[in-house]
Amino acid sequence: QLAFASKKVKDAAALVEDRTDDGLTKSLNEMMGSWDNFTFAPIRESTVSRAMTRRYFADLDTHAESDIVIVGAGSCGLSAAYTLGTLRPDLRITIIEAGVAPGGGAWLGGQLFSAMVMRKPADVFLREIGVPFEDEGDYVVVKHAALFTSTVMSKVLAMDNVKMFNATTVEDLITRPDEDGEGVRIAGVVTNWTLVSMHHDDQSCMDPNTINAPVIISTTGHDGPFGAFSVKRLVSMKQLEQLGGMRGLDMQRAEDAIVKNTREIVPGLIVGGMELSEIDGANRMGPTFGAMALSGVKAAEEALRVFDL
C-alpha cells in the first residue's frame, strides 16, 4: 500500500457538513464576503505533478492485472460498470475510454435536444441510480441526458474498485488459444493513448501497453471512427466470419434485440450496446436509451457468469 492511500477519505459522507438556513455549508458561507484577505494554501508545482502521476502510475500498476475490463464508457459501458461495481466490490474493474470526455453519445437525448427518453421497463435503472424522471406511461423522460450520464458516471468513479483510464484507446485484444485449440479466448486488451493510436500512420515506434483480464466487456458503439472496435477486430483475426452490419432505424425491434443479444461472443469477450448491432445486423433505435442501460446490466451479469466459471 502506498502512503497516500491511507490518507484517502473512505467515507464521502464524512465530508458533508451541516447546512445553514440559506442552504450553503457554514464553511462556504463564512468564505463569502471576505475575499479581501483571501489566499490559497501554499503549493510547489512539483507537488501537483507528483500528486497526479504517483496515483496514475500506481493505478496502472494495480490494474495491469484486472478482473474485468470494460471497453468504452458510453451509456452501455457505464451501466455495466455501475452494476458490476455495485454487485462485486471485490473485483478489480478497469474502464478504458478513447475520448477525453467519457459518456459516448449520452450527453444529449437526440439531435441536439436535451431530454433523454427511456422506454419502460428501463425506468428500473433510473430508480436504481436515483435519477428523477417524468412518467409518460410507456416511457419516461429524464430532463437532461447529461443528468443520467453524469449521475451514473459519478457513482462509478467513486467506487474504490473501479478505475477509468480515459483518453486511452483499446487498439487490440490479447488472445490465447481456446480449449480445443481451434479458436481463441480473449485474455486482455492492448492500449495506447488515443492521440498515439490516431498517429500510427505518421509516427513509428509507438508500441502499446497491455492489461490482462479474464473477462472483457466491449461496448464501443456502432461503426464509426472508433466504434465497433472489438467485433471488427474479431473479423480481421478470423474469429467472426463477417459482420451483419447495423440496419436502419426501428425503435420497436432494435431495443428488444440489443438486450436479448447481449452475450459472450467469443470466450472471454462479452459485447453490449450498439456494438452488437454490427454483429447481428440489428436495427438502430435512434434516441431511446433504455436498451443501452439494460444491455449494460445484462453484460455485467454475463461477465460475472464467465468470471465465476
Q: Which residues bind to ligand AHZ, rule: CB under 6 A?
A: 71-77, 96-99, 104-106, 169-170, 219-222, 226-227, 229, 273-274, 284-286, 289, 292
Grid cell locating 110 = 437526440
Which C-beta is closer to ligand AHZ: that of 183 or that of 208?
Answer: 208
Task: Report, in Å, the least distance between residue 6 CB and ligand AHZ.
Answer: 32
Which C-beta is closer to ligand AHZ: that of 89 or that of 303?
Answer: 303
Task: Report, in Å, the least distance between residue 132 CB and ligand AHZ.
Answer: 20
Task: Report, in Å, the least distance between residue 251 CB and ligand AHZ.
Answer: 9
Which C-beta is closer to ligand AHZ: that of 187 or that of 282?
Answer: 282
Which C-beta is closer to ligand AHZ: that of 24 or that of 64?
Answer: 64
Which C-beta is closer to ligand AHZ: that of 24 or that of 139?
Answer: 139
Task: Report, in Å, the least distance between residue 54 CB and ligand AHZ.
Answer: 25
Distance CA 55, CA 288 (A): 37
Task: Report, in Å, the least distance between residue 243 CB and ligand AHZ.
Answer: 15
